Chains A and B, each alone.
Chain A
Amino acid sequence: MAGSTVTVRMYNMGFGDAFLVTVRRKGKVWRMLVDCGVHSQGQARPIAESVKAIIADLAAASPAGKPQLDVVVATHHHADHISGFALPDWEKVVVEEVWLPFVEDQSDADASALRQAQTQTAQRLLGLIEQRTLGLDPGAWPAAVAAARSFALNSAGNAVATDRLIGRNKTHFANPGHHVRYLPSLNDAENEIAVGPDQVIAHVLGPSRDPDELKLMNPPASAGWHQLDVDETGDADDSPYPLFNGTYELRDRLRLPAVLEAAADSLQLDQLGNDTGLLGAASVLEHAVNNTSLFMVLDVAGTRLLFPGDAQYGAWQHVLKDPRKRALLSDAAFYKIGHHGSHNATPREFVEEVWTEGASAMLPWGIVERWKDTIPQQQLLQSLHDHKHLVIRADTPADKQAGITVQDDLWREIVLKTK
């Protein structure tokens, strides 16, 4: 039928995601918002302005001027994907359904243990960073510690946004008691969701519910963790404790053999701080939360749109090794580039071997000073270019590419025709 389209509008949040998908088909209009958040250190504009703009667009699109969404997808609980939902403006928006990764399901014992471990780990990391930087001017923080803090912050403190998405603690959208789906379901039939107009299906491909793969999302079980002394209780008593009776302390330095003193000097034990370990642990947490991402293909009468959240190495392998899931990715007309274009969120195998050529991709990206040289990865952009994909970046000022609508620096939009 003529006039059937899918529109993807990428809001320029900065270093964060917000994608409004509108399907117009057989006289029906169906709207889905995938994520709404931004990293605290990479905002294109204050988050409140971004949210107001999105809601204003929704209101303008609605005949009655009442902002409405059929589905909100929150791919994973990082600030750069959900922080926007903390704002009270959402109380004006009617949301029929919210889709969340199953790890947010509090009635699922495994999931809630995992979720709790991730949150506690983030809190404990922030505690360790606080100890480490006590009395230091923020400008004088070691780079590794500052980076570790931004990872931990990204995973911690998104409670209000999560409350609204789940509709608990008196935080909700315009219609309290909206329907929440935790995906994927253990019942495979529920992972193909027919939505809105005819022949529109959302295929939920991840995250994995395999217990072995779940362990990879549990940061305290990951390598290198224990050296940070992350106590399970999370409320460790950090006050110094005596090791030995004072009589064993050598107070008269003249009694100290010179060779031992020289040895201690050369050992430089005061520089034994474990900043790299702290950063390593924080990055494992970041990676683990990314891999809880809801991984989804929206299929509009054969035109497929791939939204992998921020799935990274591990979560992608779960999808690629399954022939049925792999086939769904192969002819995608649109790909939301995972994790702002970072190194291991778009497998080389996907670009080189699985995905067709000549499709479109959107890159949600804004500058964060410390990652400006590494994200997005230039090799990835080059290889997308080599495979003749159209790459639309949130940050490019005046886009002259065909088929793209640009609204100042607020959003970019692409319209895909369907059967």
Chain B
Amino acid sequence: MNAELNRPAIRLPDRRRLRTFAFDPMSTRLSGRFLALDVPYEAELRPGPDGSLVQVVDFDAGRNRWYEPLDLNDPAVLAQDGLRPAEGDPRTHQQIVYAVATSVIERFERFVGRRFRWRANQKLRLVPHAFEGRNAFFDPGRRAVLFGYYRADRLDPGRNLPGQVVFTCLSTDIIAHEVTHAILHRMRQYYSEPTNRDVFAWHEAFADLVALFQHFVHRDFVIDAVATTSGDLSKTSGLLQLASEFGESTGRGAALRSAIADRNRTPDRFRAATEPHERGACFVSAVFDAYLDSYQASIVDLLRIATGGSGVLPAGQLSPDLVKRIADEAVRNADRLLGMVVRAMDYLPVVDVRFGDVVRAIVTADRALYPDDAINLRRNLVEALRRRGIYPEEVASLTDEALAWPTADDLDLNDPAAPVDLRNLILLATMDLDPGGKAGALLVPQQPVAAPAPVAAAVGDTPAADESDADERDPGEVLYQTVSKWARLHALEIGLDPDPDLRIALRGIHVAYRQAADGQPRPEVAIQLTQRRPELEDQQLPAASRPRIRAGTVLIAGVDGRVEHIIAKPLPLRDDAAIDKLPPEHPAHEHQAAGVRRLKALNQWAADVEVMDALSGWTAEPAMNRLTFAAIHGEIMTESR
């Protein structure tokens, strides 16, 4: 855009509006409705669209052709909230994947309390027409979400034409789901290693939750849902369903998944479920149980006011004013509940997550900000999860105190023997907080080059070279070294092994500012440490194909360096005699016991995966290595049985 057109120059807008389907072409055709997403205005947006976080690459490899890349800064496009979505114009497909991905990332940032960046600032690539097939998936190796297209089922196409071309990139639900996989992978890269049956299920649950709650971004749509159901949201169809067009066009006769498909609030389904989507769906159902409970509780006063105190609505339509007030409550509750789940992200273990850990993380994170839980949101969620059989096994009860992660006594990052200087990190994170301002410099903790070769070749986490002055020591390296040194010194207390041959790797360090109930920001440092244990891996397999065994610990600390929580996934110590001399109350004893249990569970799980895999009889490659994002996890089409 030419900024010289007007005098004095007009400031660039903060926001850009872009139209999408609601929420896929089939639903839009039936309802006549399009949606406009409100996303940050990126001044530097290039044709593609090619922005700072996502880059749309519209190359169709199967047909070996490029489609014309869309320039969203074209005045003709700007003036009409983006192009009107059309199945026949690939540029609108580019617009939709860009808009939805950007919107999902921004929403995520808002909840997690810090600016979101990809590892080493490498953009996520979105390929709207990547291949022909009934699939779309996030591919961590390619740093890309790949969308397929296919022809609708010829016998059972639902409300589509038999054999019509269906594009997965036009479903806002599918886009939101897959981009969320990418975000979660950014936060916890080792959740790509399915070390128990919950790991991929949590990936699926989180992706579905974000995709479902994304519906509530559209207030008009919620107003409509409230009006047509007289406020009983459990009776809506579109609002709480995912990927209707995809589900129907692939012969399912229904949406791909529904948040409220299973109304029986019992633990049976969760206990039996092993398939990731199925198991994840149990968690999603529980969150929506809690959502509906909280929503109902929050509108009882409105209903009483509207009915002269009886709270019983008369037959017929609600007044439009009431509908709007109820819709606002519906949106507010959705935001609060999703916020609760997303905020828990920093409190999740760095490896080997279980749904019980998720419950504990949610409670710990929420309790720090809302100690009183004045509106019962946390209680509702814990209870809804319990009814569906989702709770940690190792806690004594389901009270806040029992569920919260253990606190740490007398651990401080400012230990004179190995101090960690957080000042630079805090400064950069603070600069990042100003959405209109310049972001802080990128600080990538990285292993010093001179250090011994890494034990673990981690997937896709080779950080790019920093642009700092070559004469100075790289601040990312300094950070890595000081944190690793501190962690080794305190290894026994935080569930890691002090053996000098076992590298302790710093996988991430973040400062977040979250808003608490009192309106004040609560700054916090989250540190992720991992330690690979090659000697515990299956020595009968060739080194390259051994499923990795890792310990990992997350530390939550105040900005003053005081450690508040230790979230450990330990393993048995190499030298277990090391803890004999420690006093009985030392945490190392508990870590050791947990480590022994965990290693046993890891090995049992690997054996189970092997025996259940249809290919394992035919190949020496361990079945665990076949459980990948593309095969299971990123794949949204797997049918829930």
Contact = CB atoms under 8 A, between A and B. Distances in A.
Interface of A: 147, 215, 221, 223-229, 231-233, 236-237, 240-241, 243-245, 248-250, 253, 255-257, 259-260, 263-264, 267-270, 272, 274, 276-277, 279-280, 283-284, 286-287, 312-313, 339, 342-345, 347-348, 371, 373-375, 377
Given A147-B618, A272-B130, A345-B617, A263 B125 contact: yes
B68 A229 contact: no
B546 to A, nearest CB: 17
B619 interface: yes
B276 to A, nearest CB: 9
Nearest to B638: A223
Contact of B88 (A244, A264, A276): A244
A250 B134 contact: no
Contacts of B48: 257, 260
6 contacts: A229-B134, A236-B151, A236-B154, A243-B60, A263-B57, A286-B614
B154 A232 contact: yes
Contacts of B151: 236, 241
B614 A280 contact: yes
> Interface range on chain B: under 10, 10 to 19, 20 to 34, or 35 or more?
35 or more
Given A249-B65, A268-B142, A287 B641 contact: no
A269 B133 contact: no
Contacts of A313: 611-612
Nearest to B275: A223
Contact of A283 (B133, B149, B615): B615
Interface of B: 46-48, 50, 55, 57, 59-61, 63, 65-69, 88-91, 125, 127, 129-135, 142, 144, 146, 148-151, 153-156, 163, 165, 250-251, 275, 610-620, 626, 630-632, 635, 637-639, 641
A227 B134 contact: yes
A232 B153 contact: yes
A405 B125 CA distance: 67
A138 B192 CA distance: 35
A244 B90 contact: yes
Contact of A375 (B61, B134, B613, B617): B617
Given A263-B55, A345-B617, A257 B130 contact: no
Contact of B617 (A257, A269, A342): A342
A280 B66 contact: no
Given A243-B60, A272-B61, A221 B142 contact: no
Given A257-B47, A267-B144, A374 B617 contact: yes
B614 to A, nearest CB: 4
Nearest to B61: A269
A119 to B, nearest CB: 17
Contacts of A233: 154-155
A283 B127 contact: no
B155 A373 contact: no
Contacts of A224: 631-632, 635, 638
B90 A243 contact: yes
Contact of A245 (B88, B155, B611): B88
A249 B68 contact: yes
A31 to B, nearest CB: 31
B66 A256 contact: yes
Contacts of B275: 223
A241 B59 contact: no
A283 B148 CA distance: 23
A343 B611 CA distance: 7
B384 to A, nearest CB: 27
Nearest to A143: B619
Contacts of A241: 151, 165
A112 to B, nearest CB: 18
Given A224-B632, A229-B150, A264 B617 contact: no
B618 A375 contact: yes
A278 to B, nearest CB: 11
